[in-house]
Structure 1
Amino acid sequence: MSNYKYDHLLHSGQQSDEAFPPIRILFEYCLNIKDTAKSDWTPLHIAAGSLNTEEIAALIARGANINSAIPTCGRTALHIAVCAASSKASRILGVNTDCIHLLLSNGASVNIEDREGRTAIHEACSGGRKEIVDLLPQ
């Protein structure tokens, strides 16, 4: 776990090497889905950035706002997941798109623009993964 005192608990928990998913422990004892890290990322944004479908599903089940935008940049969990899944490393590793499917099936809007006017489809096109572009309704 990180020693940085402002790290969000979920972010720190993701760094754990434990086989037991730390999100269950965090929910049981202290995690509030509306908490934000020092960076203004909510637990849902953090889970989307790591493409962790289990954590995303747990957060949605607990009422996380799926279309919540990070105040400083305007990105939603869908923006972040699309960026992560479209990255060069993800393309090389053949990362699946389950978390994007999950966000979309739970009401993630593809039309929300970030502070630069970019939607999730812009991110998908920039990343060059056709299968992700095809997932996003236009």
Structure 2
Amino acid sequence: MIFGMVFAIFRKLLSALSVMAPIVFTTVFNFIFMVFFGINLDVSTSITSGILMGLVIDYSIHIASEEQRLKDPYLVIENVGPSVLTNALGLIAGFAVLLFSELALFKNISILMMLGIGVGATFTLIVQPLILQGKKTGTS
């Protein structure tokens, strides 16, 4: 569904794929982190995947939208990168507070959100521009 909506907005397959890549990586890594930390899949941890998808699609759409305007992935990162990075670091710091909770549920959500936001922002700021760079050079 997300891919269909993004494709309808940008009307370019590569732009839609560039938006989807960070979302897919973030979701996959969220489940990898759950296995690594021994966190069970339940209602609260599955909701974190949805929240992470929403955050990362926001980052990705900002990048893709700006790329459509500027046509240069490097200028896009200069313009939008600091905002995405600052937002991600602020959210990570906010969720870090939950690490001090006595409830394991809040600690688990905190770990998943912090790592997921970090992965999502990293892939949005690194992988997505590489995909868009391929669009510019015609190699992808």
Larger Rg: 2
Q: Which TM-score applies when normalising by structure 1?
A: 0.28
TM-score by length of 2: 0.28
Higher helix proportion, which one? 2
